[in-house]
Structure 1
Amino acid sequence: MKSFVPISAALAALCNFTLAHYRFTSLVVGGRNTGEYVNVRRNTNHNSPVTDVLSKDIVCNAGGLSSGTATQIAPVAAGSTVGFAMDQAIYHDGPVSVWLSPAGSGNVTTYDGSGPWAKIWELGAQAGNGQIRFPASGQSAFNFQIPSCTPPGEYLLRIEQIGLHSASAKGGAQFYISCAQIRVTGSGGGQFSPTVRFPGAYSGNEPGILINIYYPVPTTYTVPGGPVARC
């Protein structure tokens, strides 16, 4: 009986730790949730985050580069609103960003995300009066527009939320990532700029990644990865 209390406490701590994690599991098109891992590539690390920004896992999460052939492609019109839904609400404070990468002449189901990525949307922080707030916290779905200038073709659509609760030490930031497979339709003919590569977009030393959000309270915050691209 004496050993029951610490074991129970350990199990409770493990449960709370697990529940504090989350996943982007579904794509939302035309206001309809298309289902868990129908258009979103399935990862292999359950709801654990990526912490190594130089790893290939930063592209589409652990296992996300090998699950494309088991994932369907969603047709999406340029200029339309789409979104990602989660298995539970965001628990850790931090920003959200959304990225597009064209599969080129190949099929997106076999595309490894090694090409250019354009940030098309971000949700950062509100700082001032000695406080910083991340509006993404507590949310379980995010909607955004596919730019109307997006050329037709197949793309990886990547969403990333960074948990900054332990980010005061390098490698402490937690990256929650999913990639969906979409086929953009329309007559867009733009070229996105700027673009980045994953891995490569982050070193881990960026002030939006290596940061103490508690003390001293930041007076400003910039979402890492550069500005939202234009085309």
Structure 2
Amino acid sequence: MKLSTLLTTAALFSRSAMAHYKFPSLIVDGTPTPEFKYVRFNTNNINPLLDLNSIDMRCNEGGLASGPQTETAVVQAGSTVGFTLSNSIGHIGPMLVYMAKAPGDPSNFDGDGEVWFKINEWGPDFSSGSIEWPQLGITSYSFQLPPSLPNGSYLLRIEHIGVHNAANANSAQFFLNCAQVQVTGGGNGNPGPLVAIPGLYSNEDPGIHFNNYYPPPTSYVIPGPPVWFE
């Protein structure tokens, strides 16, 4: 292989890798906390998940095993929290946030079963007449917890779905992490609908098997259940 070809291939690989990311820090009271103090450590670094049927879809690779080494942050229902990113987002696609209530200590909770509910989503903007992805380039993402969220321990799951190659079947990329939180000051809300992870997405969902290019899209359906926010 010619040197120029090798250099081009290396440059493309480097740009692709730099477009990848993870969510290492929870943001509480407007301040990022130490990396992986409250966020479960993942073992695949900044690489995406591709298999929708894997239990890694819950909290990323290594995210179930690292629960006992992760501390739990105290957060107020109705407050604004968030996550930092290790690199700025370089792929088009939506942002989604899920929670799952733990029956006890969240460090021992594996998120099995229909226990997850969506509290936030952020998709593309069509106000200009064409699709725009304001998620590109951000280095953190913050959102409000539902004010009526019941008190208790939860997994808080952040996810960005890269759909830049999703015109090809089974090619969407999933970047995600889970934090452990203890909610206080909550209410009597009834979060739902509850879904299982894996199981909430299909490779043929219109927001996952998605062609961003031609013909130009005029709509986008964010995957997963409706947002619960009360």
Alignment of 1:110 with 2:108, yes or no, is yes
Residue 6 of structure 1 deviates from its aligned partner by 4.1
Q: Which stretches in structure 2 are left out of the alignment for 5+ residues? A: none
- The Cα offsets for residues 38-86 of structure 1, whole Å up to 9 and x where unpaired, read as 1111111111101111111111111111111111110001111101111
2:43 is aligned with what amino acid?
A: T
- Aligned match of 2:48: 49
- Aligned match of 2:194: 195
- Give the Cα separation in 1 of the matches to 2:39 and 2:186: 25
CA contact (8 A) 1:195 1:229 kept: no
- Aligned match of 1:63: 62
1:107 is aligned with what amino acid?
A: D
1:42 is aligned with what amino acid?
A: F
- TM-score between both structures, scaled by the size of structure 2: 0.94
- Aligned match of 2:143: 144
**Percent sequence identity over aligned pairs:** 45
Q: Which stretches in structure 1 are left out of the alignment for 5+ residues? A: none
Residue 146 of structure 1 deviates from its aligned partner by 0.9
Residue 130 of structure 1 deviates from its aligned partner by 5.5
Residue 133 of structure 1 deviates from its aligned partner by 1.1
Residue 135 of structure 1 deviates from its aligned partner by 1.4
- Give the Cα separation in 2 of the matches to 1:149 and 1:119: 14
Residue 145 of structure 1 deviates from its aligned partner by 0.8
- Give the Cα separation in 1 of the matches to 2:68 and 2:201: 28
- Give the Cα separation in 2 of the matches to 1:187 and 1:130: 40
- Aligned match of 1:123: 122
- The Cα offsets for residues 165-204 of structure 1, whole Å up to 9 and x where unpaired, read as 1001221000110100100011412111212110010111
1:1-231 counterparts in 2 under 5 A? 4-104=3-103, 106-115=104-113, 116-127=115-126, 131-231=130-230
- Give the Cα separation in 2 of the matches to 1:13 and 1:92: 14
2:108 is aligned with what amino acid?
A: T
- TM-score between both structures, scaled by the size of structure 1: 0.94
CA contact (8 A) 2:117 2:225 kept: no
- The Cα offsets for residues 95-136 of structure 1, whole Å up to 9 and x where unpaired, read as 0010110012x2110111114111101101112665211211
1:12 is aligned with what amino acid?
A: A
- Give the Cα separation in 2 of the matches to 1:14 and 1:187: 46
2:42 is aligned with what amino acid?
A: N
- Give the Cα separation in 1 of the matches to 2:140 and 2:70: 20
How many residue pairs get aligned? The number is 229
Residue 222 of structure 1 deviates from its aligned partner by 1.5
Residue 3 of structure 1 deviates from its aligned partner by 5.8
CA contact (8 A) 2:121 2:227 kept: yes
CA contact (8 A) 2:76 2:186 kept: no
